[in-house]
Every structure is written in structure tokens, then in C-alpha cells.
Amino acid sequence: MKAENYIKLEFPARSVNEGFARAAAAAFAAQLDPNMTELGDIKTAVSEAVTNAVVHAYPEAIGVVQLRMRILPNRELEIVVKDRGVGIPDVERARTPLYTTGGEERSGMGFTIMEGFMDKLRVRSIPGRGTTVTMRRKLTGRG
């Protein structure tokens, strides 16, 4: 599907960059004039995906997270968060609410939250090679 506009950003998998990713996603999505609920949902979904990459993908090092966004026809926003980390051995299990590999301080709700705020969520992962989270949301906008 041909994009009407797109961005591609890369940044170190550091927790301080989660806020940057949220802001960048909101700024890019702004051209679709989203309502406040849509904007909040986009920011939260991006935050969850980036946090997953930071916390789970690179347990022994600081790797790279890639954020790509596209505006597709009919006001559909596509968000892709990709890492080249350890990967997820069992994606179906990882998408189960409350499942986490991040210790007691993690809720295990990241994928559930992303799925709840987006129209579509696809998670592809290869152990040892990384994970790609693709989310789509059709925006109604403020008008």
C-alpha cells in the first residue's frame, strides 16, 4: 500500500528515549488532525512498544530501536517498532495478559494495551534476530 507520508527514526534502546518516541509519533500523527483520545492512544501504544524493546530486547547491552510510521490512504496510521535484540521465543504466550519476562516490576500488559488502542496489531519475532511490532489505526480526527 502506497504511503502518503512516512518517517523512519533510529535511537538507542535507552528508557529516556521512550518519551522522544512518544513525542515524535504524536508530532507525525498531528497531520491527520487526531482527536485527543486518538492522540493519547497513539502515544500510549508507541510507549508500550518502545518500552518492550528497551526492557526485553537488549538485556545485556544497549541496542537500537527503529520507529517507522506511515500515513496510508483513508486516514490510516501505521506504526512499526523494530529491534534487533534477543527476540521472543513464543509470541502467542508473550501476548497473553500478565505474562512478562521483565521481573516483578513489569505488569505484562504491553501487548494487551497496544491491541486495545489500535485497530490491528501484528508481532513478528525471530529468536536471536529481533522483534517487529506493527500497529494500525484508522483516525476519525477532530472534524
Q: Any idea what DSSP says for residue 51?
A: H
- For domain 5-138, give the CATH superfamily: Histidine kinase-like ATPase, C-terminal domain (3.30.565.10)
pTM for the full predicted model: 0.88
Q: Is 75 a catalytic residue?
A: no
Marked catalytic residue, from 18, 38, 48, 76? 48
Q: Of 68, 75, 95, 106, which one is the catalytic site residue?
A: 106
Q: Which three cell numbers, joined as nine digits, stand for 67? A: 520507529
Burial-class residue 143 by CB neighbours within 10 Å (0-12, 13-18, 19+). Answer: exposed
Q: Is 48 a catalytic residue?
A: yes
DSSP conformational letter for 78: E
For 131, phi then psi, to 5°, come to -135, 140
Question: Residue 6 belongs to what H/E stretch?
Answer: strand 5-12
- Does residue 18 carry a catalytic annotation? no
Domain boundaries, the chain: 5-138
Among residues 17, 18, 52, 137, the one annotated as catalytic is: 52
Query: Tens digit of pLDDT for each residue in 27-69?
Result: 999 999 999 999 999 999 999 999 999 988 998 889 999 999 9
